[in-house]
Structure 1
Amino acid sequence: MFSNVIVKKPGKSYVEGLTTSNLGTPNYEELLIQHENYVEALKRCNVEVTYLEKDEVYPDSTFVEDTAVLTKDFAVVTNPGAQSRNGEIIAMEPVLKGFYDKIYHIDAPGTLDGGDILQADDTFYIGISARTNEEGAEQLKSILEGEGYRAHIVPLKEFFHLKTGIAYIGNNKMVLAGEFIDDELFASYDKIVIPKDDEYSANCILVNDYVIIPSGYPATKEKLQAAGHQVIELPMSEFQKQDGGLSCLSLRF
């Protein structure tokens, strides 16, 4: 169960942020509406929301997930792989110190984005991607194992971040798309398989009694409901234009 969530308002500079998509320029006013809907959905899930003000210096800083890896007992401040985002951790660390006494760091030359880290109970999966390198992955693995967790490193072949195509929704249930569907590393989980056309909806988040998914994916919603979950749907078009998904927009702990 989560008690706290950290989110950050997107600034006007967001439209100039990093992206690999060809979905067009985000509409800032619509973006703000979608972000507020996201925050309201989190409140519905019975968590305390820490709402950080926008930072125009860092266009991608609303994607707070990439700045840290959080557990119930300690935090790990990351070292984001995109140079233009690295300064985001400077603003985040004082916020984390309000919640944690024990804070670790990923040090250069290691790089690590929080979007490449998935926790499934006492096991972590660490993706190696364009943003997370092997050195950063090994540093996090060492930290986690030193704290009593299991950790597996997962080199990515297709997805931008690990959590672009996978989500853990509790009770041994894993939402999987693309390269993860037949990966033996996830063979022990009860799989909810997302087909190619619906891959974006694989980036969903379990927040206490609800699973939040992007709107427009009725088949995914039906599968999650059949698995016994209450589902909240949210429009995500303006975040998708910048390679963002539901998990990217919050730190949940």
Structure 2
Amino acid sequence: MTDRSFRFSHAITRAPAASIARGLRAVDTGTPDLARMQAHHADYIAALRSTGATVVELGPLDAYPDSVFVEDTALCLPEGAVVMRPGAPSRLGEAAEMAPQLEALYSRVRRIEGAASFIEGGDILTTETEILVGRSARTNAEGIAELARIVADWGHTVREVHTPPGVLHFKTDCSLLDGETILATERLDASGCFKGYRVIHTAPGEEAAANTIRFNDIVLMPAGFPRTRDALVAAGYDLREIGNSECAKLDGGMSCLSLRFTPS
């Protein structure tokens, strides 16, 4: 087993824009505090850099309130990058803005182009053996099928799974911890989509802790979920807790804030 799914040389982030208060959200739990979000974002970038990775910091895009959540714009694989086609119309321009950044780093960049295709990176979990893509309000069957065709000759297999009702993205409820282990909510694991993997459940009431990222030798997780944190420490993971109170108001988490890859 290799570790291509969590060992990276690069990450791309984008500074939160002043327009972040207009960001999309499923439930209004308050307006994000820009200064606090910027402080959390700086901590996040510092954690990524602490692993020796190169972090590309892009400037804010005021025209796109959700543009801090760069993960939705692309899927980065060892063989190349695929520019997504977000299911939220207001976010289509974000993918177009990311494309030239990827082209500067990758020799191969492909695109989801079908007019009926919608797919966001937050619905995609890449493991050592497959790419799981959750159907959701933001990702449809056409988008998943197009992605499967695009990455087939790179040797990747795409498996369609389902995001739980009322959950924004598949990775809202899960994340990769290592080549064989996934952190997931009990409601998502109950669907059977992780058969064959080792699964660690978030603690009851701490479902929002499911969106972490394994980045080289560390796991970044949102602060404020002590029982899930303790379970991960007991399992041997080196954790970094990052404030996420403001991103959470926009349904965002650890994975949403970066594209992680080793360019080809």
Same fold? TM cut 0.5: yes
From 183, 202, 205, the counterpart of 2:213 = 205
Q: Is the 8 A contact 2:127 2:179 kept in 1?
A: no
Distance 1:83 1:227 in 2: 41
* Deviation (angstroms), 1:196: 4.1
Distance 1:251 1:171 in 2: 18
Residue equivalent to 1:8: 14
| Stretches of structure 1 lacking an aligned partner (at least 5 in a row) | none
The yes-or-no answer on 1:121 pairing with 2:136 is no
The yes-or-no answer on 1:239 pairing with 2:247 is yes
Q: TM-score, normalised by structure 2?
A: 0.93
Residue aligned with 1:122, SS: coil
The yes-or-no answer on 1:151 pairing with 2:146 is no
From 27, 40, 45, the counterpart of 1:21 = 27
Tell me the amino acid that sits aligned with residue 27 of structure 2: S
| Equivalences for residues 166-245 of structure 1 within 5 A | 166-245=174-253
Residue aligned with 1:186, SS: coil
Q: Percent identity?
A: 37
Distance 1:184 1:244 in 2: 25
Q: TM-score, normalised by structure 1?
A: 0.97
Residue equivalent to 2:137: 130
Q: Is the 8 A contact 2:164 2:188 kept in 1?
A: no
Q: Deviation digits for residues 70-93 of structure 1, max 9, x if unmatched?
A: 001110000011111100112111
Residue equivalent to 2:3: none
Q: Deviation digits for residues 100-121 of structure 1, max 9, x if unmatched?
A: 1111111121011110000011
Residue equivalent to 2:56: 50
Residue aligned with 2:155, SS: coil
Report the count of equivalent residues: 253
Distance 1:167 1:87 in 2: 26
Structure 1 runs (4+) deviating above 3 angstroms are: none
CA-based RMSD of the aligned residues comes to 1.1
Residue aligned with 2:206, SS: helix
* Deviation (angstroms), 1:179: 2.9
Residue aligned with 2:72, SS: helix
Residue equivalent to 1:140: 147
| Equivalences for residues 60-71 of structure 1 within 5 A | 60-71=66-77
Stretch deviating more after TM superposition (154-163 or 47-56): 154-163
Distance 2:58 2:141 in 1: 31
Residue aligned with 1:87, SS: helix
Residue aligned with 1:221, SS: helix
| Stretches of structure 2 lacking an aligned partner (at least 5 in a row) | 1-6
Distance 1:87 1:196 in 2: 37
Residue aligned with 1:61, SS: coil
Residue aligned with 2:205, SS: helix
